Structure 1
Amino acid sequence: MSNLDIDFTRRNRKPRPLSDAEKNKLDEFIDNIHYSSRYNDDEYEYRHVQLPKQMLKAIPKEYFDGSRGTLKLLWEDEWRALGITQSLGWEHYEVHEPEPHILLFKRPINYQAPIQH
């Protein structure tokens, strides 16, 4: 699998799990997460996920890039822990800086999940 041109320096070194208390704080926002339709170019399909703005205040500070004032690029374990649900293969590759509650995702067109044996 390619790294999809993701700047891994903008991620935590390894996924930072949420505590139960942190998860509980985020639960109230999950029903208000908005998923865009998918769109694509020749290589990738894309979608953006819009978090409720108030949700950003409940996300642990370790998920933020202090120099940018936005979320870091999240590992799959991290964005799933926030309550984002989507099929396999999506990578968080960018944050829309003017609107830091919008996370941009992409995956290769015709992505096939690895077969589990």
Structure 2
Amino acid sequence: MPINMNIDMSRRNPSPRPLSDDERAILDEFIDSIHYSARYSDSEFEYRHVQLPKAMLKAIPKAYKDSSQGTLKLLWEEEWRGLGITQSLGWEHYEVHEPEPHILLFKRPLNYQPPAM
């Protein structure tokens, strides 16, 4: 039974919106500057935050941005992986740190095991 991750789906695109080849080429220069925090946890989830270079935010397509909040939308896995964020399976983008919109917050269930193929 899937764990309820409490992701606000209204803050995502209705479905994943892949990057075009041109958009991906622009973002490639920032990939080596993405910073990943150490993992931390509570009794239910493990967490980490991913810090994008501030200049990268300007290069991310408008379709990934929430104009009402002035931040990124919550990204589907296909979208955040397309930006160059690399992490193991099971992570969900659940929040943007609004005071610092270049910091994306991720979580996954403790002891996550990917589905068997």
Kindly provide the CA deviation profile for residues 59-97 of structure 1, in whole angstroms up to 9, marking residues without a partner as x: 000000000000000000000000000000000000000
Alpha-carbon deviations, 1:91-114, whole Å to 9, x = none? 000000000000000000000001
Deviating beyond 2 angstroms after TM superposition, the runs of 4 or more aligned structure 1 residues are: none
Q: TM-score, normalised by structure 2?
A: 0.98
State the partner residue of 1:30. Answer: 31
After TM superposition, list the pairs within 5 Å mapping 1:80-95 onto structure 2: 80-95=81-96
**Once the two structures are aligned, what percentage of the paired residues are identical?**
76
- 1:79 aligns with 80
Deviations 1:15-57 (A, max 9, x none): 0000000000000000000000000000000000000000001
Residue 7 of structure 1 aligns with an amino acid whose one-letter code is: D
CA distance in 2, matches of 1:72, 1:61: 10
1:48, 1:3 → 2: CA distance? 20
Q: Which residue of 2 aligns with 1:109?
A: 110
After alignment, is 35-44 or 3-12 more displaced?
3-12
Distance 2:58 2:98 in 1: 16
CA contact (8 A) 2:3 2:109 kept: no
TM-score, length basis structure 1: 0.98
Structure-to-structure mapping, 1:55-74, within 5 angstroms: 55-74=56-75
Equivalent pairs, count: 116
Report the Cα distance in structure 2 between the residues aligned to 1:17 and 1:83, rounded to whole angstroms.
Answer: 12
State yes or no: 1:100 paired with 2:87: no
Distance, in Å, in 2 between the alignment partners of 1:111 and 1:96 is: 24
Gaps of at least 5 residues in structure 1 are none
Shift of 1:115: 1.0
Amino acid of the structure 2 residue aligned with 1:11 = R
| Map of 2:40 onto structure 1 | 39
The code of the aligned residue for 2:116 comes to I
CA distance in 1, matches of 2:64, 2:114: 26
Q: Which ranges of structure 2 fall in alignment gaps of 5 or more residues?
A: none
